[in-house]
Amino acid sequence: MIELQPGENILYEVRKHWFHLFVWGLVLCLMAVVPLILGGILTVMIFGSLTEQAVSVAGLFYTLWLGLLWIIFFVEWTDYRLDVWVITNQRIIDIDQRGLFNRDVATVRFESVVDIKAHVGGLIGTFLHFGTIEIQTAGAVKEFTMRSVYYPEKAKDVIYKVVHKSLEDKNI
């Protein structure tokens, strides 16, 4: 739960694109199928045929392998779901989930923002509208980066407008 300061409102949330999780899922599905193919080929090559005992042992190891793949997918899904940038009218809150039990929360006030970059690269990124957003700061943490962001240009525009308004309010 994010604790907002008095008078602080959430303007926009920046999350990772679904394609990031899709690629992980695809890789894990391939990792689930490959042992079936290789295991069958190797068993036939070594033993000459698939014996009942070989199938039982292979089935046990394959079940353990699938369990491990499900755990990896769950950890990646948790990371995907809980990584977020919250843009308020006073600051940017970067919540970075790393694994199941490790979370980094960093904030940057708009006064310390020096530069904002949005980068969309490649054919898939262009068609699906995802890329990287980077914020250069003048503080101790020099750069905030979030990859596989959905519509990074929109997030950049929101941040730029709030930073510009913040600077105008300070000059008045």
The pLDDT assigned to 24 comes to 93
Question: pLDDT value at position 141?
Answer: 65
Is the confidence at residue 97, as pLDDT, over 70? Answer: yes
For the stretch 40-86, pLDDT in tens is 777 777 767 667 777 787 788 899 999 999 999 999 999 999 999 89
Indicate the pTM of the whole model: 0.78
The predicted pLDDT at position 47 comes to 67
Which domains does the chain possess? 11-172 (2.30.29.30)
Average pLDDT of the chain, as a whole number: 87
Confidence of residue 114 (pLDDT cuts 50, 70, 90): confident
Q: What is the 3-state secondary structure of the chain? A: CCCCCCCCCEEEEEEECHHHHHHHHHHHHHHHHHHHHHHHHHHHHHHCCCCHHHHHHHHHHHHHHHHHHHHHHHHHHHHHHHCEEEEECCEEEEEEECCCCCEEEEEEEHHHEEEEEEECCHHHHHHHCEEEEEEEECCCCCEEEEEEEECHHHHHHHHHHHHHHHHHHHHC
> 112 pLDDT exceeds 60?
yes
Task: Compute the distance between CA of residue 152 and CA of residue 132 in angstroms, rounded to an integer.
Answer: 6
Q: pLDDT tens digits for 7-37?
A: 889 999 999 999 989 999 999 999 999 988 8
> Is 171 or 88 the better-scoring residue by pLDDT?
88
Of the listed ranges 71-80, 123-132, 143-152, the one predicted with least confidence: 143-152
